[in-house]
Structure 1
Amino acid sequence: MPTLLHIDSSFAPAELSASRSVTATFREAWEAQHPDGTVIYRDLAAAPVPHLDGAAAAAGFVPPAEHTDEQRAAFALREELTRELESADVVLIGAPMYNFTIPSTLKAWLDHVIIMGRTSGAEQTTTSGTPTVVVASRGGGYGPGTPRESFEFVTTYLGKALGSLGLETEFIVPELTLARSNPAMADLVELADASKAKAHEEAAAQAKALAARFA
């Protein structure tokens, strides 16, 4: 049975988080197709991984068979997270925009799993070709032609970072998520609601389409 790696990084609870809501829609549709499948879940807000330190980073450049006991211990979490990624048939990531970019917890996860010569830095990596869906929610509008287009560092960064892992990444982007709570955005509520509905539709559709690959 197929394996889904599901990562959420929003610090908001499910009932208030746009990205968690949409990833939940994806996961529900996926599990409906594969009720006996495996889901590996990482909530990086509830259980953040530590920032990559020097010892763990250095150990990534030494073949595992040559690790000292100290290097093996330092590399243990990187190995665990990377094996989860390598075992996934599909990856699902919730990546809300915080201060124009991704949550630091998601960046920490990426720092652990980007390993030169294994998951990155080669034409064919151990994660090449894995379908990946990223729910990149944001409170305002940062799409092409908007005044803040140049401030968008979520899809621009993740497209490159996940691309370096060989992941085949698609983005679902619910925008204007603060419209109902910010009086200054009152005239954008209708657009926000449409964006939200479209995101949920895309999530369900992509989940079903990807699940069908492993029928």
Structure 2
Amino acid sequence: MTVRLLHIDTSARPGRAGEHPHGSYTRRLSHAFITRWQATRPGDPVVYRDLAVTPPVPVQHAWIPSAFTPEAQRTPAQQATLAESDALVRELREADVLVLGVPMYNFGMPSTLKAWVDGIVRIGLTFGFDPGRPDPYMPLLVERPRRAVLLTSRGGHGFDAGGPLAAVNHADPALRDVLAFIGITDVHTIAVEHEEEGGEVLAASLAAALGAIDALVASTQAFAPAALSTREALAA
């Protein structure tokens, strides 16, 4: 049985650092992860979305009543309004491993990724709400194991937990919170820092990140059998 990967890039830079002028470090990291994965598991399907090339439509007025109308009662117009969001949710639900390239822009995630988040956090699909419970919110992506890999780049340094700038890191911590809200709590982050300084410190940070990717691919492939056995049991 194959492991299903969902690979999402979000950098506004179209190329990969070290290979293209002004290329993206997150694209380099996510490409390295997928390439390393496919070297040992070439048959695993990878669904790819480039949110910089095809950004999701931000939530607009018509989206809100459409999402909160029961599916059986939606008009054709409401179904059309939710079509992109439905596709994003379907891709996420089907994935075993989520690989996200997440550059930090002004302390947060790219706007295109925020639009993706708004499209996949859907009542009745990825989370439930029961006001009669002490905690009314219920994650719905808990029926089987999934893992998320956040591959990020930061112009400065010290943004990890415990670092001097950790309090203003609203990028990967926010994504961790969103993923946990819908039921994905197995989340791993690898970061490249010092991009604004460049030179040896940037080169060392990139080398460390690429080495960490090799180890994370190996551990994620070791995690895969449990995810697959659960998915297989649910499908039986």
TM-score by length of 2: 0.81
1:60 and 1:147 map into 2 onto residues whose CA distance is 40
- Pick from 125, 150, 168 the counterpart of residue 167 of structure 2: 150
1:146 and 1:208 map into 2 onto residues whose CA distance is 28
- 2:10 matched to 1:9? yes
- Pick from 113, 138, 145 the counterpart of residue 123 of structure 1: 138
The amino acid of 2:224's aligned partner reads F
% identical equivalent positions:
34
Aligned to 2:41: 34
- Assess if the C-alpha contact under 8 Å between 2:151 and 2:191 holds in 1: yes
Residue aligned with 2:46, SS: strand
Aligned to 1:54: 61
- Assess if the C-alpha contact under 8 Å between 1:100 and 1:151 holds in 2: yes
Q: Which structure 1 residue ranges, 4+ long, deviate > 4 Å from structure 2?
A: 144-147
1:87 and 1:52 map into 2 onto residues whose CA distance is 23
> RCO (CA 8 Å, sep 6+): is it higher in 1 or 2?
1
Identify which range, 98-107 or 199-208, moves more after superposition.
199-208
2:34 and 2:88 map into 1 onto residues whose CA distance is 20
- Pick from 170, 195, 203 the counterpart of residue 177 of structure 1: 195
- Pick from 76, 79, 87 the counterpart of residue 86 of structure 2: 79
Aligned residues: 207
Give the CA RMSD over aligned residues. Answer: 1.8
1:17 and 1:67 map into 2 onto residues whose CA distance is 41
Unpaired runs of at least 5, structure 1:
181-188
1:26 and 1:130 map into 2 onto residues whose CA distance is 17
2:217 and 2:62 map into 1 onto residues whose CA distance is 38
The amino acid of 1:206's aligned partner reads L
1:146 and 1:213 map into 2 onto residues whose CA distance is 29
The amino acid of 1:198's aligned partner reads A
Change (3 A) 1:213 1:143: closer
1:59 and 1:127 map into 2 onto residues whose CA distance is 25
Change (3 A) 1:193 1:123: same
TM-score by length of 1: 0.89
1:56 and 1:177 map into 2 onto residues whose CA distance is 38
The amino acid of 1:54's aligned partner reads H
Unpaired runs of at least 5, structure 2:
129-136, 226-236
Identify which range, 58-67 or 134-143, moves more after superposition.
58-67
